[in-house]
Amino acid sequence: MNARTAQSDTEEIVRLAADMFASFGHNGPSADWHEAAREAVQRRLDEDLVVFVVDDPTQPRRLAALLPAWSSTGSPPQHNLSTKTSPAARLGRDAST
């Protein structure tokens, strides 16, 4: 499997994020959350977000895993005196793969 940058994968990014929340034992996110998440991902992909994704080898148009990274400004942490930080988090992996 090869990683690539997400382009038209907004729905799958949101699906994996929702799966992540469900795996924490929370109720599934609401329809309002899904809509807000889709809008935020799509807007931020053009601004300050990059998402590296791995396609599911067994199901076309489905992601197996993703890794988001974003740039934000604000007060720097002690170990990074830059005012720009780029946290990355392993947001999701499809449990069925």
pLDDT at 86 over 60: no
pLDDT at position 87:
47
DSSP code string of 18-50: HHHHHHTTPPPPPHHHHHHHHHHHHHHHTTTEE
Range of the domain at 77: 3-93
Q: What is the pTM of this model?
A: 0.71
If one compares 80 and 47, the residue with the highest pLDDT of the two is: 47
With a CB cutoff of 8 Å and minimum separation 6, the contacts of 65 are 16, 53, 54, 90, 92, 93, 94, 97
Q: How many structural domains are present in the chain? A: 1
pLDDT in tens, 9-63: 999 999 999 988 888 887 878 899 999 999 999 999 878 889 999 999 999 889 9
Q: What is the CATH number of the domain that holds 75?
A: 3.40.630.30
